[in-house]
Structure 1
Amino acid sequence: MQKDHIGNDVRILSHQIHRWIENAPNKKKIDSVTGANAWIIGYISDKTDNNEDVFQKDLESCFEITRSTASKVVNLMVEKGLIERQSVPWDARLKKLVLTDRAREVNKLMVEDFTEVEKILSKGFTEQEMKQFFDYMHRMQKNMKEATAR
């Protein structure tokens, strides 16, 4: 019998989620939007709904990506017409990220699909089990963050 491996099981689940999202009911309507774009649109939407500005550095820390990766993703999203960079009055060098009308429409469709995938993933779990699951996941993330900070 093969021993369970956390990393492999997380990778498998990640691929399964990715495949589901790529074939989700609304995916054909938002075909040019990648999974990473979808998470970023959702993040910016949540922050702006709370009257918070979002900057590239926020994406770097939230999604634990490098500055160059964030820059590439933001540039591609600007090219796709999903976000715009807007100057802020207090610093001419700083640009906040703002969703376009197209991205707001895409976000509505994505929320439907994300809600559905969350239902699928949590099916059969109690509220307490889900709390424990997230506690474990956050501890593992912390462990990995500490290990990579060395």
Structure 2
Amino acid sequence: MISLTRSAARYVSKLSNKLRRKLDMLSSRKEFSGSQGRTLHFLLAQTEDVFQKDIEEEYSIRPSTATELLKQMEKNGLIIREPVPYDNRLKRIVVTEKALVYQEQVVNELTALEETLTRDIPEEKLQIFFEVIEKMMDNLSE
């Protein structure tokens, strides 16, 4: 029988909820949501063209969720979607000048959050954590 107090799914869910609340409380979130900030951070770190499919894969979200997220980011003036010359069906995601204004703030906030999250956890235990989480994600993909 699965223990309700030591359930992996319960703990992952609790961590996810706490992390989402922290993301939504960051100071830059007056302008956009935590999900948009995370996505903006991802976009700003890329050196190649980024497409909706890349966002779906990075955050393991459904196409409809990614569409709504990107629509909101476009509405907030953080991104534009433009066709690529080699395939009119594909639209690359481009950050706007407005988004670039937030770059340093978003990077600093997410770096600080990561440092808080992993504080006092030895590197070898973090490596084990990542291995376990990746295996759990693989298990759920089967």
- Structure-2-length-normalised TM-score: 0.89
Deviations 1:14-34 (A, max 9, x none): 22222222333xx1x441311
2:43 aligns with 44
Identity of aligned residues (%): 29
Deviations 1:41-75 (A, max 9, x none): 1111111xx2x000111112222222221111111
Q: CA deviation at 1:93?
A: 2.5
Deviations 1:62-99 (A, max 9, x none): 22222221111111111110100112111223210000
2:137 aligns with 141
1:33 aligns with 32
Deviations 1:109-134 (A, max 9, x none): 11111111111111111111111111
Alignment of 1:33-72 (within 5 A): 33-47=32-46, 50=47, 52-72=48-68
Residue ranges of structure 1 left out of the alignment (5+ in a row): none
Alpha-carbon contact 1:53-1:97 (below 8 Å) kept:
yes
SS of the residue 1:53 aligns to: coil
Root mean square deviation of aligned Cα: 1.7
2:104 aligns with 108
Moved over 6 A (4+): none
2:109, 2:36 → 1: CA distance?
14
Name the amino acid aligned to 2:5: K
Count of residue pairs brought into register by the alignment: 140
Residue ranges of structure 2 left out of the alignment (5+ in a row): none
Alpha-carbon contact 1:59-1:70 (below 8 Å) kept:
yes
Q: CA deviation at 1:2?
A: 5.8
CA distance 1:23–1:36, change in 2 (3 Å): closer
1:59, 1:20 → 2: CA distance?
21
2:138, 2:4 → 1: CA distance?
27
